[in-house]
Structure formats: structure tokens, C-alpha cells
Amino acid sequence: MPIIEAKGLSKVFGKNSKQALKLLDEGLSKEDILQKTGSTVGVNRASFSVETGEIFVIMGLSGSGKSTLVRLINRLIEPTEGSIFIDGQDLAKMDKKELRQVRREKLGMVFQRFALFPNRTVLQNAEYGLEIQGVPKEERSKKAKEALEMVGLGGYIEQRPDQLSGGMQQRVGLARALANDPEVLLMDEAFSALDPLIRKDMQDELIDLQSNMKKTIIFITHDLDEALRIGDRIALMKDGSIVQIGTPEEILVNPANDYVEKFVEDVDRSKILNAGHIMKRPETINIDKHGPRVALERMREEGLSSILVVDSKRNLKGYVTADDASEARKKDVRDIHEILRTDIKKVEKDTAMQDIFTIINGSPIPVAVLENERLVGIIVRGAVIAALAGDSEVNIDNV
């Protein structure tokens, strides 16, 4: 069962919210609705589910409704319509007291501009969630210290937040959320205010933290690279609607529509794509069955200048060139071993494309792609360049 499930979650800001929702059903755009009713559509019927222990990234540009969506999850903003289930309970139907309980026990939140209490020390900030639950002083200070140790701030507990750097302040924010030991962490652009280098460190640490503690994390960001880096799955938002939900690969490789495609076209594809994405089905001959004559015939059919040679178990033996095969036929050589060349370059199927780049450069023949020693495909130079350019037919089924 998913830990969080949203069904038709909507938020319309303004007075005529019900009417605006009706117009949405009729297919009017956000702008038309604003003109007709004066209401702004924040989130339009978002449905998704988040599995326990997953990092679920909600990504979109500013104004796409992602910050509103995350606030609908803990009801900092009241939904106009729809349900949000946490462990099977509908948050939207809870009274204030039940809601408070869920916020205290199950949901932690980390904010874009840290939102630390400046009048409290680092320790007191981390204690806040426990303090309002009435946890005794000693216990809460112990738990808060543990959380601060976890984010590497054990030595700063008596400082004030404004004495710390941005990165450290956000660690306090993280510790404050972790001290409650919530099931789900909501992170609203948590790293967006940090320097690029520190942001990368924090991303790595978050991934480590997640794999150690198995927290479910819902992470909001406008940065696609960040989303691809940390997300198990990504939901892409535009104008308040979720346009596509999928793994980073699915989003990159099979954009659901033009918008997503446009969004992902600037991504450095060489970091995300691997050999499996760009390889082609290889033409081969079997070393035990076929001779130079068959090899030559095959190459002629496919218009190739060389062909790979495998055994019956598809273990790669080498390759033969068209010139060699033609020569061998003239001399009536029957054994393919005589003309077999073995100086072929090999890569594993999960080799990143940026690494393939250097291998394939300067190799006159295609690179063989292996998986468990078996030949699964070949990569020609053109495919690498095309994939980098972003206009190739890369096939997710190969993965």
C-alpha cells in the first residue's frame, strides 16, 4: 500500500472556487478561468501515490503549483477538492486535532529559506517539534542532539541560526524535521537557496540518509538536474497539473508531451543515458556454423563493412571485416578462425554515455555491448552523437 496517495487533489485560490473547478472540467485554461471568475487555479486534480521509502520528486517551474501541492499534502493549504490519504486515512476529512496529530507524528517539513526560529538556539530549533508535543526536556534534548549529530552539526548546538552558513542552517532545518522521526519528509525546494557545490553535497547526503533511514521523501524542486539526481520517481507539473510521472529515465527517454520534451532537452544527456539506451541489435555470425561465405553474404545484405562473431551461447569471439572475408573466399578458406580479428572494444550495458564517448572515439568499427559476457548490442558512432543531440530514437525497451 502506498504511504501517501492523492486523488483528484485541487486548489483554487479565490472566491468562486467551485465554479472555477466546473470550468476546468469543461476544459478551460487557467488564464480563461482567471478572467471569468477571478480565481487562480493552484493545483488541478493532482493524483499520484508515493511508496514507502521512495524519493518522490515534484518538479516544475515557478508558478506550476508545486509548492501549493506540497502544502496540500500536510494541509498548510486547505484543498478545494479531492483527497489526500496518509496510511489510508483521508487528511482532507480530518478535524483540527487529528490533523495536528498526523503533522506531529507522520509529517516533517523542510523549507526553502530554512524557516529556523531566530530567537532559539540550534538545539532549541531541533527540539521544537518535540517541545510542542510535550516531550520532557531531557528526552527531547537527547533526540534533538541525535538528529543534529546525524546531519553533522553535533558541535553547534548552542549557536544561533544566524551564526551559521546557509548549508548549515538547512542542516538544522533537516534535523528539526528528523527529530520527530516522521514517516514522510516534505522538502520544499530545500536546497534551492544553497550554493551549487553545497547543494550537491546536500543531495548526496540526503540520498545517503534516505538509504540508511528508509524515510519516504517528497522533494519539490525546479531544477531538473536535481530531480534526476535524487528522484526515484519524478512528477512533472505545469499550470497546476501533473503532466507526467515516471522514473528519471522514462521522463528523459519518453517525454509524455512537447512540454516535457522541451523541459528535458537541456539536460546533459551524457550523464543519464547509458550504453543500453543507444545500442542497436547486432548482426552476428556463429563461429561454429558459419564460414567466410556466409559472413560476406550477411554483410552485403545489411550493407556493413564488418560483422561480429559469436558462439552458440552468444559469447563474443571477435569480428571479421568484409575485405578479409572476400580475400578468404577467393582463397577458398572455409574456417572463420583464419580471418577472425579480436581487437574489438567492449563496454558493459550500463556504461554511462560520457564514458562511451572516449572509447568509441578512434575506433573504426562499432563498439560491442556486453551483459554478463554475452553480446547484447552494438553502438555505432552516429548513435552516440545523435543521442547527445537529443533527437534520436532511443529505446527504453532496451533497458
Partner 1 sequence: MFNSLKEWFTEGIPIAEGTKWFVDELTDKLSFLFNPIKEHFGNFMEWMAEDVLMAIPPVVVIIVVALLAFLLSGKRLGLAAFSVVGLWLINNQGFWEQLMSTVTLVLIASLLSVIIGVPIGILMAKSKTAEAIITPVLDFMQTMPAFVYLIPAVAFFGIGMVPGVFASLIFATPPTVRFTNLGIRQVSKELVEASEAFGSTGTQKLFKVELPMAKATIMAGINQTVMLALSMVVIASMIGAPGLGREVLSALQRSNVGVGFVAGIGIVILAIIIDRFTQSMNNKGDKA
Asked if 104 touches partner 1 (CB under 8 A), the answer is yes
Instruction: Return the range that interacts with partner 1 (CB under 8 A); candidates 84-92, 107-115, 316-324, 341-349.
Output: 107-115
Asked if 119 touches partner 1 (CB under 8 A), the answer is yes
Of 80, 373, 49, nearest in space to 232 by CA: 49
- Compute the least distance from the CB of residue 113 to partner 1, in Å: 6
Contact 132, 104 (CB under 8 A): yes
Instruction: Return the range that interacts with partner 1 (CB under 8 A); candidates 69-77, 241-249, 260-268, 291-299.
Output: 69-77
Asked if 132 touches partner 1 (CB under 8 A), the answer is yes
Say how far apart CA 3 and CA 25 lie, in whole Å. 28
Say how far apart CA 83 and CA 98 lie, in whole Å. 15
Binder to partner 1 among 100, 334, 337, 374 (CB under 8 A)? Answer: 100
Asked if 108 touches partner 1 (CB under 8 A), the answer is yes
Three-class SS of residue 293? helix
**Per-residue contact track with partner 1, 164 to 203, x per CB under 8 A?**
------------x---x-----x-----------------
Binder to partner 1 among 82, 129, 231, 291 (CB under 8 A)? Answer: 129
Q: Helix H segments across 132-274?
A: 137-150, 166-179, 196-213, 224-230, 248-253, 258-264, 269-272
What is the maximal distance between C-alpha atoms in the chain?
Answer: 93
Residue 130 or 316: which CB sits closer to partner 1? 130
Instruction: Return the range that interacts with partner 1 (CB under 8 A); candidates 52-60, 105-113, 284-292, 328-336.
Output: 105-113
Residue 112 or 395: which CB sits closer to partner 1? 112
Asked if 117 touches partner 1 (CB under 8 A), the answer is yes
Instruction: Return the range that interacts with partner 1 (CB under 8 A); candidates 23-31, 43-51, 125-133, 137-145.
Output: 125-133
Q: Helix H segments across 92-195?
A: 96-105, 122-131, 137-150, 166-179
Residue 115 or 399: which CB sits closer to partner 1? 115
Q: DSSP characters for 142-155?
A: HHHHHHHHHTT-GG
Of 219, 239, 236, 221, nearest in space to 44 by CA: 239
Instruction: Return the range that interacts with partner 1 (CB under 8 A); candidates 71-79, 289-297, 332-340, 356-364.
Output: 71-79
Residue 112 or 270: which CB sits closer to partner 1? 112
Instruction: Return the range that interacts with partner 1 (CB under 8 A); candidates 82-90, 102-110, 264-272, 348-356.
Output: 102-110
Cell matching residue 113: 529559506
Burial of 193 (0-12, 13-18, 19+ CB in 10 A): middle
Burial of 118 (0-12, 13-18, 19+ CB in 10 A): exposed
- Compute the least distance from the CB of residue 163 to partner 1, in Å: 13
Cell matching residue 27: 476544459
Residue 161 or 377: which CB sits closer to partner 1? 161
Asked if 115 touches partner 1 (CB under 8 A), the answer is yes
The alpha carbon dihedral of 43, 48, 49, 50 has a sign of negative
- Compute the least distance from the CB of residue 215 to partner 1, in Å: 16
Instruction: Return the range that interacts with partner 1 (CB under 8 A); candidates 22-30, 100-108, 243-251, 347-355.
Output: 100-108
Beta-carbon contacts of 26 under 8 Å, excluding residues fewer than 6 positions away, are none
Asked if 76 touches partner 1 (CB under 8 A), the answer is yes
Q: Interface residues with partner 1 (CB under 8 A)? A: 71, 74, 76, 100-105, 107-109, 111-113, 115-119, 128-129, 131-133, 176, 180, 186
